[in-house]
Structure 1
């Protein structure tokens, strides 16, 4: 069943599952979804557990709930396609890696956009850089009511898009733009997920397209190197020089879409026996 904030775009028998980031929304994946659909892919822009509501909704979930919602969405799309690709932004990229670790026979390839294991970009506030301590801090009962507010430039270099998204976010429209800050307990859950995946990157067998801003304000290129050195799979890296962290909505999203479509198509073509016969189109996910 499609959740209120999700979108499904019917296309061919190769599908892409799109995963948004922490406190985010499927809207941040919509440009990429539309572009991949125009390139012939079926696309499901999923909604993570606890997201697109208020802070209490998010705090009621943790990283295992988020991974379970990704797995459930993958089941829904996998039933419609012959090839399943998974692409995520920021924490969504970490969740995509987690799915590939858990279900290597189901995931044909990965799109890792602004992968965030470490909050170490040039605009990251001090608490973000010390986020690795949050699992300990929150487990001791401290900071459970604290929130790390998002700061300029909000991951977006394009001022027009930034003003539109930030305006919706600060107005409280979490359905369209997500929450305006990161609750410390949720950041602690993010850190637990990050450590879990980093320790298992060698189990990733799916080819990876790693797309990252050269000037990422949230996550430095150190995160790219972690993927390149850690996974046991071919890696293609795309560095974007005119964007910030939110590469799926920023100024070079067209280049991101083009490279993603070409990468996924190439991977699918390596298994011609599994390609669709004729022009079959996936039915809607209900």
Structure 2
């Protein structure tokens, strides 16, 4: 990472499970247009093949993010954190770990589609049985959780594009993740809930009313638990809110919350490819 001028603002963006920088969609570009120095580290086990996640502990992701955060904090007067899905859990745990917003009160946190509860409308009734499977030696490492319709996307055109990209094996997102990795997400959920009451930074919680993975109960839990939080509810997206129909609203909300001009979230082209 190249050192930047003192006084500039950096934003650490954290992608979701099995994902890449694609998960944060237009948000990274909007932040850059607004003048932020953005960084989206690829988490260990990601960007290669799904099998690399089988034995990857959540601690490895947190260590990577802690190192990145500390370097950014040494180079910039302000550092904001934003995470999407599992990345939001990691962002919250990281913020608690580094006492984000305490030494530097202007540093803020944005939590996007945070899966505090895995209870969305598309999750199967037997989802809680995974905790039984975790206890069977080797089973969680052998079982796969496939990416499937609706892929977190309400927009039908975008959904077709993503389905085709997954079928081609494009590297933007894994087509499946091992159940062992979902166990790591469950650990992060517990850590996030435990640390939330002591996380003192100003926090923005954005969640879709129609999120198929994690219901609005997650946003309500965060709003009730975090000391300094405000929430925004989206009305026209599923889970992947940085990519779906409300992506411009998400970008504008995050930019304004981080102190940038929300107008920088306006895209030059409405093309779905972005």
Same fold (TM over 0.5): yes
CA deviation after TM superposition for structure 1 residue 10, in Å: 9.8
Question: CA offsets, 1:23-43, max 9 Å, x none?
Answer: 111122241000111122111
The equivalent of 1:130 in structure 2 is: 128
* Preserved CA contact (<8 Å) 1:12 1:41: no
Matching residue within 144, 148, 152 for 1:147: 144
What secondary structure is seen at the aligned counterpart in 2 of 1:95? helix
> How many residues align structurally?
255
Q: Provide the aligned C-alpha RMSD in A.
A: 2.3
The runs of 5 or more residues in structure 1 that have no matched partner are 3-7, 267-286
What secondary structure is seen at the aligned counterpart in 1 of 2:233? strand
Q: Does 1:244 align with 2:241?
A: no
The equivalent of 2:177 in structure 1 is: 182
Q: Does 1:260 align with 2:261?
A: no
Q: Hey, what's the Cα distance between the residues in 2 that align with 1:100 and 1:248?
A: 21
The equivalent of 2:108 in structure 1 is: 109
Matching residue within 1, 12, 17 for 2:12: 17
Change in Cα spacing, 1:24 to 1:10, as seen in structure 2 (3 Å) is farther
The equivalent of 2:154 in structure 1 is: 157
5 Å-filtered alignment, 1:189-208, equals: 189-208=184-203
* Preserved CA contact (<8 Å) 2:7 2:77: no
CA deviation after TM superposition for structure 1 residue 53, in Å: 1.0
Q: Hey, what's the Cα distance between the residues in 2 that align with 1:254 and 1:58?
A: 31
Question: CA offsets, 1:38-97, max 9 Å, x none?
Answer: 122111122111111112211231111111111122123223321111001111001000
CA deviation after TM superposition for structure 1 residue 150, in Å: 2.1
* Preserved CA contact (<8 Å) 2:79 2:108: yes
5 Å-filtered alignment, 1:203-282, equals: 203-232=198-227, 234-265=228-259
Change in Cα spacing, 1:184 to 1:105, as seen in structure 2 (3 Å) is closer
Q: Hey, what's the Cα distance between the residues in 2 that align with 1:246 and 1:11?
A: 34
The runs of 5 or more residues in structure 2 that have no matched partner are 261-274
Change in Cα spacing, 1:9 to 1:166, as seen in structure 2 (3 Å) is farther
Q: Hey, what's the Cα distance between the residues in 1 that align with 2:195 and 2:70?
A: 22
Q: Taking structure 2 as the reference length, what is the TM-score of the superposition?
A: 0.86
* Preserved CA contact (<8 Å) 1:88 1:112: yes
Change in Cα spacing, 1:172 to 1:196, as seen in structure 2 (3 Å) is same
Change in Cα spacing, 1:11 to 1:18, as seen in structure 2 (3 Å) is farther
